[in-house]
Amino acid sequence: MTRYAMVVDLDRCQGCRGCMTACKVENNTVEGNFWMYVFRFEQGSFPDTEMSFMPRPCQHCHNAPCVKVCPVGARFHREDHIVLTDADRCIGCRYCELACPYGVNYFNWQPPDEGQYSIVDWKDPDLEPVTNGLIPPYKNPDLDELWGDEQRRTAGGGHAKGIMEKCTFCVQRVEKGLDPACVDTCPTDALVFGDVENPDTPISHYLKENRTWQLLEEAGTKPGVYYVGGTRPSSELKEIERPKATV
Amino acid sequence: MSVDTRVERKLPQGVGRLRFGWLVFFAVAFVVFLVGLAAYFYQMSSGMIVTGMRSTGTMGGATWGLYIVMVEYFIGVSIAGVVLVAFAKVFNIGSLLPISRLAVLLTITSLVIGVLGVALDLGAPFRGFINMLLYARPQSPFFGTLMLVAVGVLFTSLVYLYLDGRKDAATIARIPSGLRWFHKLWAAGYGDTEPERERHRRVMFWLSIGLVPLVLVALSTEGLVFGIQVGRPGWYGSLQGPDFIVLAAASGLANLIVLAAIIRRVRGAEVVIGHTVFRWLGSLLLAATAAALYFQIVKTFTLLYATPGSERLISDALLSGPYAWIFWSSLTLMIISMILLVLQAARRAWSVPVLVAASVAVSTAAVAERYLTVIPSQTHGMLLPYEPGSYFPTWVEFAVVAGLFGLGAILIGGFMKVFPIIPLDFDTREVRTDA
Amino acid sequence: MRRIGTIVLISGGIVLLLFGYLMSAPWGSLRVADSDPVFVGAPIFFILGIISMLSSAVFYELLPD
């Protein structure tokens, strides 16, 4: 049996938000949707302030509240403990988002084509000869594949308007034996991903050697993401430097 | 079927006759409905970005907005009508029967627009319809909303309306009119013989007995939608179900009173829907409002003493934060209507205008209460330190909700023109069945 | 005849309802196979069960003795 999990070492995280960018590039998520999000916190009052960072992917809970409330089984829990959304099944009721205490679900409020980041207007007729009408310029073809034993369309974002999407642990990469994009990109190796049932994986060593904590353990969700060190989020912390997150 | 010998040849209660006043009313309702429909198509083509709803957390929004608030309100309103009629039938409360058809019609109408409201809120409504049939999971409280409420309660109410209307249908089917085929179809050969009446009484009795638990179970799941959520402060708790039902009863009775007053006025039925009807409705509204106010006050005190950890986020937002004005005005409205009702009960004189005023107050407070249940826990109930969000509906949402009200008016107003809204047993002014 | 038909509609409705419910709800398990109904379309049986139960009232009242 495989059980995928992630370790976030907050003592290593420097808050560069590279993981957020890598996630967006890999998963084609629309503007304002942050499957991976890095909190930048400030504590205390000037001049005695302290900054801390906390990456927040989907927690891939073992006892996932979002799976329980989904009325049509679009949100499901894989054997290897990855929690996924079936883009072809979701009806867009957004109940999963309400059930989730971590706020990791993002709805496609507008047609994905219109919600994509763009420095230039890709529909500009002058650009037409260059872009050949490709909007957005690139989309990973893996995202439209069917993955896993279930053969459901679960990878990536920007599939359709009016459906829910969230972090997939980059299922399209994990299926190929790769790490999720955020883990791959992290310059300080603050993110570790792997199978915790297998004692020889780096993540198993990491969990054995470090004291870990989990987000909102009291909610009973049994998250699949473990945190090491750092500052636990509390009401003492003020969030600063929010990226443009509204659409 | 015996040949009718009466001189009167018109259908009763204005059925089949389109007067100017009704045409104006219907045209206005229809235009409002069309505006709502247009707004909905706009929302469908542009995506739900045209609403005020946004994702919670980093986007700082509420992912369920005015639609779900109104769904909770409408489905709540539906409880009163059919349950009231069931009680009247089981306990033989004859004084309530003149408004029995109106009450069941109110249930059906509010259920139709309530369930439609759920569909309007879906990001992928067509897929929603198909996938609910193919994959619906009973573990999700939505199963209760869509299977028990949308199918069970709606179907029971339709059966109720149908069976209880057969006698009247048979009566007016004897009058030649363009609607005769419809009335004949409805009557389905009802001859008003003693065995038939006995059989009808028996069916109504058992249907009423079965209906009350079905409605209670089905509508409690509306409260459970929020009550089972551990991830949002302000929601988790076993009282969400009962709280929903109690406020539902109050808002439903309030709507019934307003409707009964309107029908009484336009049909000139001051005698038929008389003092006894309003005394009953007023007393019941008093009881339901007292219970709802009791729940509200208990909740307020619990909030004041709040509260462990994250619950504080919600109590602050409700008592002194951005939702305070809604919270306190809803409480004030409830207290005002309570005073009005108690005064009338004490003087044993139920004035219809005062009762209507109290009903409007209760109804408005109920919408506010639904709003306070649904919204603050999303914008202020994040357990991770996201910044508090905000939500305000856009014109699209207001237009769509207005369209739902328009549809309700069309359904009730349209029904009145094809079938007598007051059972003919009580309104004997125009049709003498024993002629 | 009418009585029998009514009983059949009610009891058949209950059977359909329970069948539809159990087939669409594999309780308690987190296995992937159990996140879906046992067979696609099981909830339709639940709906048919409710409708059958409630139609019995119409059946009982409308049918001649």
Q: What is the rounded average pLDDT for all residues in chain B? A: 91
Q: Are C43 and B155 inside 8 Å of each other by CB? A: no
In a domain, residue A245? The reply is no
User: Looking at beta carbons, which residues of chain C come within 8 Å of B189?
Assistant: 62
Q: Does residue A91 register a pLDDT over 50?
A: yes
Number of domains in chain B: 1
Q: Does residue B238 register a pLDDT over 90?
A: no
Q: Are A77 and C37 inside 8 Å of each other by CB? A: no
CA nearest to C6 within chain B: B203
A partners (3+ CB pairs within 8 A) are B, C
User: Looking at beta carbons, which residues of chain A come within 8 Å of B121?
Assistant: 93-94
In a domain, residue B300? The reply is yes
CA nearest to B197 within chain C: C61
Mutate one of C23, C46, C56, C65 to test the B interface: name it (highest B CB count within 10 A): C46
Work out the percent of chain C whose per-residue pLDDT is above 90: 58
Q: Are B384 and A94 inside 8 Å of each other by CB? A: no
C-alpha–C-alpha distance, residues A127 and A120, integer Å? 9
Q: Are B47 and A246 inside 8 Å of each other by CB? A: no
CB A182 within 8 A of CB A191: yes
**CATH code for position B23:** 1.20.1630.10
Give the mean pLDDT of A129-139.
Answer: 67
Q: Spell out the alpha helix ranges (H) of B144-179.
A: 154-172
| Between residues B403 and A50, the one the model is more confident about | B403
CA nearest to B54 within chain A: A109
In a domain, residue B310? The reply is yes
Which pLDDT score, from 0 to 100, does residue A4 have?
96
Q: Does residue B5 register a pLDDT over 50?
A: no
Least confident of B117-126, B355-364, C35-44: C35-44
Q: What is the pLDDT of residues B188-228, one digit of tens each?
A: 989 889 999 999 999 999 999 988 899 998 888 899 999 98
pTM for the whole thing? 0.93
User: Looking at beta carbons, which residues of chain B come within 8 Å of A108?
Assistant: 47, 123
In a domain, residue A230? The reply is yes
Work out the percent of chain B whose per-residue pLDDT is above 90: 70
Q: Of chain C residues 1-60, which have a CB less than 8 A from chain A?
A: 30-32, 35-37
Q: What is the pLDDT of residues B284-313, one digit of tens each?
A: 999 999 999 999 999 888 888 866 678 888
Give the mean pLDDT of B418-425.
Answer: 93
Q: Are C35 and A62 inside 8 Å of each other by CB? A: no
Q: Domain of A74?
A: 4-239
Q: What is the pLDDT of residues A61-74, one digit of tens each?
A: 998 999 989 999 99
Q: Are A77 and C32 inside 8 Å of each other by CB? A: yes
Give the mean pLDDT of A90-113.
Answer: 94
Give the mean pLDDT of A105-110.
Answer: 94
Which pLDDT score, from 0 to 100, does residue B123 have?
94
Strand pairing report for A75-77 and A50-56: unpaired
**Measured CA angle at C30 (ends B144, C42), to 5 deg:** 45
Q: Are C32 and A73 inside 8 Å of each other by CB? A: no
Question: Which of B50-64, B137-151, B297-311 is the most confident on average?
Answer: B50-64
Q: How many residues does chain B have?
A: 435
Residue B1: band (very low, low, confident or very high) from pLDDT cuts 50, 70, 90:
very low
CA nearest to A70 within chain C: C35
CA nearest to C37 within chain A: A73
In a domain, residue B426? The reply is no
Q: What is the rounded average pLDDT for all residues in chain C? A: 86
Q: Does residue A132 register a pLDDT over 80?
A: no
Q: Does residue B8 register a pLDDT over 70?
A: no
Least confident of A126-135, B20-29, B232-241, B382-391: A126-135
Mutate one of A94, A102, A236 to test the B interface: name it (highest B CB count within 10 A): A94
Q: Give me the phi and psi of A226, to 5 degrees please.
A: -110, 140
Q: Of chain B residues 174-213, which have a CB less than 8 A from chain C?
A: 188-189, 195, 199-200, 203, 206-207
Q: Spell out the alpha helix ranges (H) of chain A.
A: 18-27, 65-69, 95-99, 112-115, 128-131, 171-174, 181-185, 202-209
CB-count exposure of residue B39 (10 Å: 0-12, 13-18, 19+)? buried
B partners (3+ CB pairs within 8 A) are A, C
In a domain, residue A246? The reply is no
Work out the percent of chain B whose per-residue pLDDT is above 70: 96
C partners (3+ CB pairs within 8 A) are A, B
Cα–Cα distance list, B149 to B15, B114, B146, B154 (Å): 30, 10, 6, 6
C-alpha–C-alpha distance, residues A18 and A190, integer Å? 11
Give the mean pLDDT of B81-89.
Answer: 92
Q: Domain of B402?
A: 12-418
User: Looking at beta carbons, which residues of chain C come within 8 Å of B135?
Assistant: 24, 36-37, 40, 43
Residues 6+ apart with CB under 8 A from A59: A102, A104, A214, A215, A221, A223, A224, A225
Q: Does residue A113 register a pLDDT over 60?
A: yes
Mutate one of C47, C51, C52, C55 to test the B interface: name it (highest B CB count within 10 A): C47
Give the mean pLDDT of C44-65.
Answer: 91
One-letter amino acid at B294 equals: Y
Q: Does residue B374 register a pLDDT over 90?
A: yes
**CATH code for position A60:** 3.30.70.20
Using the Cα atoms of residue C56, residue C59, residue C61 and residue C64 in order, give the sign of their dihedral: negative
CA nearest to C38 within chain B: B135
Within 10 angstroms of residue A207's Cβ, the number of other Cβ atoms is 19
Q: Spell out the alpha helix ranges (H) of B55-99.
A: 66-90
In a domain, residue A244? The reply is no
Chain A contact for C62, CB < 8 A? no
In a domain, residue A57? The reply is yes
User: Looking at beta carbons, which residues of chain A come within 8 Å of B131?
Assistant: 72, 74, 89, 91
User: Looking at beta carbons, which residues of chain A come within 8 Å of C32?
Assistant: 76-79, 149-150
Which pLDDT score, from 0 to 100, does residue A231 have?
86
Number of domains in chain A: 1
User: Looking at beta carbons, which residues of chain C come within 8 Å of A149?
Assistant: 32
Q: Are A150 and C31 inside 8 Å of each other by CB? A: no
Within 10 angstroms of residue B346's Cβ, the number of other Cβ atoms is 8
User: Looking at beta carbons, which residues of chain A come within 8 Å of C37?
Assistant: 73
In a domain, residue A195? The reply is yes
Which pLDDT score, from 0 to 100, does residue B6 have?
46
Q: What is the pLDDT of residues A141-160, one digit of tens each?
A: 889 999 988 889 999 888 99
